[in-house]
Amino acid sequence: MKNDNQHIPAGYKPSPLGPIPEDWEVKRLGEICTHFKSGNTITSKEISEYGLYPVYGGNGLRGYADTYTHSGKYILIGRQGALCGNINYVEGKNYISEHAIAVQTDENIQWLKYKLMNWNLNRFSESSAQPGLSVEKLVRYKLSVPTRSEQIKIAEILSLWDTAIAKQTALIEQLTLRKRGLMQQLLTGKKRLKGFEGGNFHRLGNYISECNRRNVGCNRVLSVTNTRGFILQEEQFDKIVASNDTSNYKVVRRGEFAYNPSRVNVGSLAMLNEYDEGILSPMYIVFKANENIDKAYLLQCLQSWWFRGHIPAYTQGSVRDSLSFDGLCSMKFYIPTLQEQKAISAILEQADKEIDLANKKLSYMQKQKKGLMQVLLTGKKRIINH
């Protein structure tokens, strides 16, 4: 086993957790917490829209109740299932459910929040079909504890990043709402672009045709997702799950569309741009646009909230509703002139680019914060000179 205390740099000392700053200590979580217990059971009848006190579970706010179980500043640790190890911070008088463990501390509570977020608490969960955290295990959790002044500085820095991330997230929401408004106006004819006339609602079947080509030698198996469009199947499932015999698979070519009939309502529809050709499971529907409709405009229509909202009226099936190609063809869309279609799609594509750029910036900020947490909360990077 590797000795983490080898080659200890100046200003650091050995510890059970590896080298830590000389003025830091190693303590158990139970030593620094003044309150450490699971919440109480609450039924849905006790949660009221008009209640005075917020009810928190492992994933945050659940509702409101007319009683409270905790008062003050708390860190909530999700203790069951997929929320196991989830961290939330709450203040005031609250009702905390049995799905969370409430923690108070004599240390800086914001620092402790970030410290717990930086660790995978799932490793303390009980091994069962439903993972769960116990107070008995968590109190024995060892962590490196900086001085109070350094705790405050660390929390202040990470809080600044949280504020910036929250602002960026709000900007993305604003950009998304703006695009949604543009789509509702431009894709339904409620708002016309200057200089254009004509346009009406027409059956989509007048502008598209189904493609039923079967596979002959193509090995690029694709899937259609609701967030990333076309992706290689091994990216979605970490392996190729296609049958050994793919001769019955459908071929999709660049510029053509495909969707999962049972998941189109959540956005599993896309146009292929990444590859010249690929194959899809026989369950997919593949179609192409004719020369009277702009592909980019059609894609915007099929990704709109208006489209998803009208899908239920055209689906069929008992266990899971499915949108057949005939059902899609029966749907009516607003189709202006080809020139206006291209102008509208250009406006909406620009809105998409702004959202994509904002999301990339958010992702960069989140990675930067994660990197800071890893060095500040372990003492690898100091912010106070001694």
Check residue 241 and give its pLDDT. 55
Query: pTM value?
Result: 0.82
Q: CB burial class (10 A; 0-12, 13-18, 19+) of residue 383?
A: middle
Q: Where are the domains of the chain?
A: 25-145, 200-335
25-145 and 200-335 share one fold: yes
Tell the CATH topology of 200-335.
Adenine-n6-DNA-methyltransferase TaqI; Chain A, domain 2 (3.90.220)
- The CATH number for 25-145, chosen from 3.30.420.40, 3.90.220.20, 3.30.9.90, 3.30.70.260, is 3.90.220.20
Per-residue pLDDT of the chain (386 residues; tens, 9 = 90+): 445 556 888 999 999 999 999 999 999 999 998 877 778 888 777 777 777 899 988 888 888 888 899 999 999 988 876 667 788 999 999 999 888 889 999 999 999 999 999 887 766 665 555 567 778 888 888 999 999 999 999 999 999 999 999 999 999 999 999 999 999 999 999 999 999 988 899 999 999 999 999 998 898 999 999 888 999 987 766 555 556 788 999 999 999 999 999 999 888 999 999 999 999 999 999 999 999 999 999 999 999 999 999 999 998 765 567 999 999 999 999 999 999 999 999 999 999 999 999 999 999 999 999 999 999 999 999 986 54
Mention every residue, 6+ apart, whose C-beta is less than 8 A from residue 247. Answer: 214, 215, 216
